């Protein structure tokens, strides 16, 4: 069943547009009506014939849209309102073109499948550039191109690229629409798929446009799918200009410019200038049986369990005792110092762009529960009943793989792409909390860093102080996953899980972390966790998933001053019996999970020293001193 568009035009916030005669001078012109009174909202300047177009009172925005239209030469321009009627029309249009495929509407109402180009299935870090005036400001952690060279390259690609296509103007807000910590952006794209996803992922439309017009500043994002040619694919960031340009990809991380491009690469630059932190972190509230809720922000590389942890369901006996979990966000966190000396966090996103494989009733029941309606799936398989399917979901054998070919299980090939995704509004999550819309944000008691390490890293470890915690974050290492192109399973340094996302030199980024910490009277405690320790047979030692609440309980007790810790040269660890194993089918080898392999750590610090040296002379002296302190204590 297709979505119904109704008979009225898109409406939002009491504002209605209507098309006016095309015989008027200049481009197609629209009037706005409110309260029965009509009048032109703004003069039209674009020489191209446009349809379905709202205009703006912000001259800078109007001129930018006009200049992009002159460069890309679209057939028509559509200003997105974010309304349900508009979305229904978009969905129907994509069903007609085949960009979306309708799934089983009896089991998955308003759910659709998108199959991307087989060569366009993940972020392309090697084609992602930070374009600062000075190369050293981008740092060794980024691919750099001069702004002049980047603009010349991108102008050539964008020239005429939207001929015969619709140019969509997407005004959006990252964060609660009334939050002083929210930031604004406008993405121009020729992809209706991007529009539909941005509607779920951001506060998109007329309300965002109104705030943009009030404040007068916004991040500019220009995107075109181009020819989907891997040799003509670039994602350029101009942090000094608050601008993003992306060409040649339709994949979410490369095309949904409000997400990693704006909310991390550009926002991290904004955050440094304005005194806050833009981080690749989930935000989750843990409520104990006494009704006290403490909020945690946690950084993990993509596909390492952030969504699972953000939507964790307390295991028995915790659930029966009254423990609850409140999901604020699963991927991005903006942290601002509060007047009380604490850090407060908002989730700039409004939805989830989650990894489908591995999501099941065993790993993340909350995520699965929100995917049976109003969701967009990308590159998953489908069953013979036309339902979405991916590995680890259940024991059914799908009919078609992610490319739409008949699936043959005897070949050993995967049915769903390992980086297949779902897009869904955060309000559909059973553990969603209204605190996600709190304009002040939520107070953070603990910051957690984690990654995939088969050896060395203990199950949980507390930093001595903010400087040591910053060091642990800067030294983070994790095995790579399918969320980015390249070889999977390689251990690489991924500071604060921000290696693909920090918009400036890591040395300056770590210095900014230290500066923020110095200004906090009551900083969060910082911890490191590793759910992925393996035994000699290669099996995971810790059960993970919902059982991770057992580790969070100790972390929160440490934040409240209600638990002891053992000092070691690398950090503070719990006693093996400090983490409850009651109710587990089998008791994990806690001695191995919490061991401190000093020779192994000595070798680790040698590698960390080389890692920090890459960012010299901008590496903060405090981090080098911390490394020397740990090395001295290890002996």
- Active site positions, annotated: 304
Contacts of 562 (CB under 8 A, 6+ apart): none
Name the helix (H) or strand (E) containing 365. helix 365-369
Token readout for 332 is 């991005």
Give SS3 for 333. Answer: strand
> Is the peptide bond prior to 332 cis by the omega test (within 30 degrees of 0)?
no
Please give the Cα distance from 82 to 84 (Å, whole number): 7
Token readout for 58 is 């912000």
Question: According to DSSP H, which parts of 435-481 are helical?
Answer: 466-474
Q: In terms of DSSP bridges, do strands 566-567 and 572-573 run parallel, antiparallel, or are they unpaired?
A: antiparallel
Please give the Cα distance from 61 to 472 (Å, whole number): 42
DSSP assignment of 492-530, as one string? Answer: EE-GGG-TTT--S-HHHHHHHHHHHHHT-SSPPEEEEE-
Contacts of 9 (CB under 8 A, 6+ apart): 16, 17, 18, 85
Please give the Cα distance from 475 to 626 (Å, whole number): 11
Q: How far is CA 485 from CA 125, 144, 480, 490, 613, in A?
A: 7, 19, 10, 12, 26
304, with CB counted inside 10 A (0-12, 13-18, 19+), is buried
Q: In terms of DSSP bridges, do strands 376-378 and 421-425 run parallel, antiparallel, or are they unpaired?
A: antiparallel
Please give the Cα distance from 446 to 307 (Å, whole number): 18
Q: In the structure, how many helices (H) and strands (E) does the chain have?
A: 17, 33
Give SS3 for 620. Answer: coil
Please give the Cα distance from 445 to 119 (Å, whole number): 42
List the beta bridge partners of residue 297: 283, 447
DSSP 260: I
Q: Which of 300, 303, 284 is nearest to 347 (CA)?
A: 284
Report the length, in residues, of the chain.
635
Please give the Cα distance from 504 to 133 (Å, whole number): 12
């Amino acid at each position: 069943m297709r979505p119904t568009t109704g008979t009225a035009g898109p409406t939002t916030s009491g504002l209605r547009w209507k098309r006016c005669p095309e015989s008027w001078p200049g481009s197609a012109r629209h009037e706005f009506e409110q309260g029965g009174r009509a009048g032109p909202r703004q003069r039209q300047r674009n020489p191209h014939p446009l349809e379905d177009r709202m205009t703006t009172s912000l001259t800078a925005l109007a001129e930018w849209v006009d200049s992009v239209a002159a460069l890309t030469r679209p057939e028509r321009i559509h200003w997105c309102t974010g309304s349900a009627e508009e979305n229904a029309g978009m969905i129907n249009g994509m069903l007609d073109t085949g960009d979306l495929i309708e799934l089983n509407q009896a089991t998955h109402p308003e759910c659709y499948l998108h199959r991307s180009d087989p060569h366009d299935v993940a972020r392309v870090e090697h084609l992602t550039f930070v374009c600062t005036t000075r190369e050293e400001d981008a740092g060794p952690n980024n691919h750099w191109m001069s702004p002049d060279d980047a603009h010349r390259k991108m102008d050539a690609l964008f020239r005429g690229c939207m001929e015969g296509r619709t140019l969509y103007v997407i005004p959006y807000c990252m964060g609660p629409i009334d939050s002083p910590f929210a930031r604004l952006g406008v993405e121009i794209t020729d992809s209706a798929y991007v529009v539909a996803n941005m509607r779920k992922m951001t506060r998109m439309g007329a309300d965002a446009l109104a705030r943009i017009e009030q404040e007068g500043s916004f991040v500019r994002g220009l995107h075109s799918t181009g020819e989907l040619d891997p040799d003509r694919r670039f994602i350029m960031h101009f942090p000094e200009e608050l601008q993003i340009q992306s060409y040649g990809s339709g994949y979410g991380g490369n095309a949904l410019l409000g997400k990693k491009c704006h909310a991390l690469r550009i926002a991290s630059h904004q955050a440094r200038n304005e005194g806050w932190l833009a981080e690749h972190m989930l935000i989750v509230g843990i409520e104990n049986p006494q009704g006290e809720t403490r909020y945690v922000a946690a950084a993990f590389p993509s596909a390492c369990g952030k969504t699972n942890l953000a939507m964790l369901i307390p295991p028995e006996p915790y659930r029966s005792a009254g423990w609850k979990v409140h999901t604020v966000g699963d991927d991005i966190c903006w942290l601002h110092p509060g007047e009380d000396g604490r850090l407060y966090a908002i989730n700039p996103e409004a939805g989830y762009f989650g990894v489908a494989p591995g999501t099941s009733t065993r790993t993340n029941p909350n995520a699965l529960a929100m995917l049976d309606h109003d969701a967009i799936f990308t590159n998953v398989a489908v069953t013979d009943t036309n339902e979405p399917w991916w590995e680890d979901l259940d024991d059914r054998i799908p009919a078609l793989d992610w490319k739409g070919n008949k699936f043959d299980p005897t070949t050993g090939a995967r049915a769903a792409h390992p980086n297949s995704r779902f897009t869904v509004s955060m309000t559909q999550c059973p553990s969603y909390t209204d605190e996600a819309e709190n304009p002040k944000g939520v107070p953070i008691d603990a910051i957690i860093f984690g990654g995939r390490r088969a050896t060395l890293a203990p199950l949980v470890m507390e930093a001595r102080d903010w400087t040591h915690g910053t060091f642990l974050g800067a030294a983070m290492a994790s095995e790579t996953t399918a969320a980015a192109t390249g070889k999977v399973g390689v251990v690489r340094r991924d500071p604060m899980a921000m290696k693909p996302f920090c918009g400036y030199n890591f040395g300056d980024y770590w210095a900014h972390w230290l500066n923020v910490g110095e200004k906090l009277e009551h900083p969060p405690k910082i911890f490191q966790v590793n759910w992925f320790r393996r035994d000699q047979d290669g099996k995971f030692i810790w059960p993970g998933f919902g059982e991770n609440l057992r580790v969070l309980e100790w972390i929160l007790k440490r934040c409240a001053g209600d638990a002891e810790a053992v000092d070691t040269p690398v950090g503070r660890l719990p006693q093996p019996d400090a983490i409850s194993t009651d109710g587990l089918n089998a008791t994990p080898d806690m001695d191995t999970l919490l061991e401190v392999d000093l020779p192994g750590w000595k070798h680790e610090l040698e590698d960390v020293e080389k890692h920090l040296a890459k960012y010299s002379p901008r590496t903060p002296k405090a981090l080098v001193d911390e490394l020397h302190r740990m090395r001295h204590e290890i002996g």
